[in-house]
Structure 1
Amino acid sequence: MSRSGLALTIGFAAEAVRESAPHIQCVAPRAATPFVADTLHGVGARSLVTGTSPDALAAAGGAEAVVMDLAALSSEWNDAIVATAARLDQAGQPWVLDLTPLGSLPLDRGRVDALLAHRPTIVRVHPEEIGGFSGDGVDAAIVWGESAERVTYGGREVDVPRGSEMLAQIPGVRSAVSALIGACAVMTGPLEASLAGAAWLALASERAEEHARGPASFRTTLIDALWTVRGDEIAEYLKV
């Protein structure tokens, strides 16, 4: 895809999220739940943020995209998790796997490999958190770094601005970025969705910082900024 074609697709994906209000389920840590939900509704999507009980995981079949945060999965691991990933794979539903460790505990590579076997659409990973992960053999877009600053897919690599430093003061930002990426994955391919979701929050955060007086006002202003960012502005921000 040409640079201009990529820009058009990214812009379309963001506008399509706002117009069609996709239903996104996020299996995320409890501390992230409020911000993840607010972020999704801030871009016009619908949210269901759950834990990992069998009933909660069964709801994934009714979502248009699913996000699984390994920090939440690790704390409540059960046999239904891998089975849910298998169902998503078989149904062709887009799903995002965020390889976030639970606190300082190392990631369980057996669990990671079991989930990767069911072909997530997009994988988020920080090299410092999972040593030796290169993405080789993984048929997914890889979103690298805590702040989603780089995306690789199909031999292509695109950098993403980090956004405001104030994002570090908001619990649940990493999960929220994954949720936005998941919403965009309903509308377009893995590379475009990863770029659109990551840059959407980064751009909104820079605008929010201009009007914030501290973390509380920044959080509120950020949600409002997400609502007003246009798809073409996201593509321009990425310089694609």
Structure 2
Amino acid sequence: MQDMTSPGAALIAMRKQTPLVQCITNFVAMNIAANVLLAAGASPAMVHAEEEAGEFARIAGALTINIGTISSAWMKGMRAAAEAANESGAPWVLDPVAHYATGFRRKAVAALLELRPTIIRGNASEIIALSGGASRGQGVDSRDAVEQAETSARYLASTHETVVAVTGVTDFVTDGERAVRIEGGSPLMPQITALGCSLTCLVGAFAATNAPFDATVAALATFAVAGEEAARKADGPGSFSWRFLDCLAAVDGAFLDRHSRILAA
């Protein structure tokens, strides 16, 4: 798209600065998310305690918040960090994991939405439910197709003045006006636990050095290209996991621009 920084240029800009990304993510995702950011060229910090989350957010290039294993104590840290990011002008990304599953999660996400996330990334069921629609999601699993969530994503983006990414077989990104679909990846990716949560952290890394819409598209394109490359030689989910990290580290700007498949929506 002519009015968008290319994914390759966005990747180069991110790696040039090696942004510090504060990742408030779930216990399951911490290790793989940190490794994904390191492989991609960013610097992860898993800082979530209420006593320091806000202070740390003021020095981070970006913040990501994932409610996968949320607790009351973690929620306090999330709020403190989001408020501090807003005050310092740093972008922050919300991953509303299974927010529809319990009353506690619904209340937590509603409070975080009021703090105006720069970017929201979720699966189709999460995005549909977040917009007030009826989703078929069960737990952390999406049972809705990405295309069924596109209208919800556009509504959320316009209403909350944010960028919304719906990830799945073909990803969808919108800021309420512009919209693209991103093809690629591999069927093996959903078989690696917390890989989607790691993508949220990578979106944050790109957002630290690029405009929110461009950053989101570039991060998703990077994941898609690396996933496709890793799947070519993988024998299954185990070998795919380490090959994916290798491919993520090996992808450069020129390769990303040649192989990413981004279509106007």
TM-score range, shorter chain: 0.7 to 0.9
1:101 and 2:98 aligned: yes
C-alpha distance in 2, partners of 1:215/1:79?
Answer: 36
1:139 is matched with which residue? Answer: 161
Q: Is the 8 A contact 1:25 1:49 kept in 2?
A: yes
Partner of 1:23 in structure 2? 20
Mean Cα deviation higher: 11-20 or 66-75: 66-75
Asked if 2 retains the 8 angstrom alpha-carbon contact of 1:36 and 1:49, the reply is no
Structure 1, unaligned runs of 5 or more: none
| Percent of residue pairs bearing the same amino acid type | 30
Matches within 5 A, 1:40-79: 40-74=37-71, 76-79=73-76
Cα pair 2:119 2:163 within 8 Å, conserved: yes
Q: Is the 8 A contact 1:27 1:73 kept in 2?
A: no
Against the structure 1 CA distance between its residues 123 and 38, is the aligned structure 2 distance closer, same or farther, given a 3 Å change threshold?
same
Query: Bigger shift: 67-76 or 178-187?
Result: 67-76
Q: Does residue 215 of structure 2 align to residue 196 of structure 1?
A: no
- Structure 1 CA distance for aligned equivalents of residues 205 and 102 of structure 2: 29
Q: Which residue of 2 aligns with 1:238?
A: 261
- 2:240 corresponding residue in structure 1: 218
Given that 1:52 and 1:72 are in contact with CA atoms closer than 8 Å, whether structure 2 keeps it comes out as: no
**Does the aligned pair in 1 maintain the 2:15–2:41 contact within 8 Å?**
yes
TM-score by length of 1: 0.88
Paired residues of 1:148 and 1:198 also in contact (CA < 8 A): no
2:34 aligned partner: 37
Cα drift, residue 59 of structure 1: 2.1
CA distance in 2, matches of 1:43, 1:175: 15
- For residues 163 and 107 of structure 1, the distance between their equivalents in structure 2, rounded to whole angstroms, comes to 33
Question: Paired residue for 1:183?
Answer: 205
**Letter of the structure 2 residue corresponding to residue 123 of structure 1:** I
Name the count of aligned residue pairs.
Answer: 237
Conserved 8 A contact 2:55-2:84: no
What is the root-mean-square deviation of aligned Cα atoms in Å? 2.4
In the alignment, structure 2 segments of 5+ residues that lack a partner are 132-151
Normalising by structure 2, we get a TM-score of: 0.80
2:201 partner SS: helix
Q: CA deviation at 1:139?
A: 1.2
Distance 1:106 1:223, change over 3 A: farther
Which letter does structure 1 place at the counterpart of 2:243?
T
Rounded Cα–Cα distance in structure 2 between residues aligned with 1:74 and 1:159: 34
- SS of residue matched to 1:66: strand
